Amino acid sequence: MQRYYYALDLKDDAAAIAEYERWHRPGVIWPEIVASIRASGIEDMEIFRTGNRLVMVVQMADDHVPSAKRETEGADAKTKEWEQLMDRYQQRLPWAEAGQKWVPMGRIFSLKAALSAP
């Protein structure tokens, strides 16, 4: 199992943040979006928030390629509509590349690695 971590900021507006969170609640998030996530090979996904900073954790099978989700999203009209809606609440990180929303995060510490070091 592979895990990937991504960061993105929300616009620093309490009402907009509350609305963004509401859109992600079970029963509110569009079922087509959940289906699209699963169809792309993602086995689990979680989004965490502190202030206006989001961290997304994506879990995939070892043989899965992370870019597959971007490829399936690009072809799906409902996903494009969802992304446009979410864009109302999101703001890019200053170091994001052009057109990039969620920026991959790099691990800097692992307890397992530290414990197994000579």
Q: Which residues of 85-108 are buried (b: 16+ CB within 10 A; e: fewer)?
A: ebeebbebeeeeeeeeebbeeeee
Does the pLDDT value for residue 19 go beyond 80? yes
Q: Which two tokens stand for residue 23?
A: 């859109």
pLDDT in tens, 67-90: 655 555 567 899 999 999 999 999
pLDDT at 91: 97
Fold of the domain spanning 2-116: Alpha-Beta Plaits (3.30.70)
Closest to 69 in 3D by CA, of 79, 77, 56? 79
- The pTM (predicted TM-score) of the whole model is 0.88
Domain boundaries, the chain: 2-116
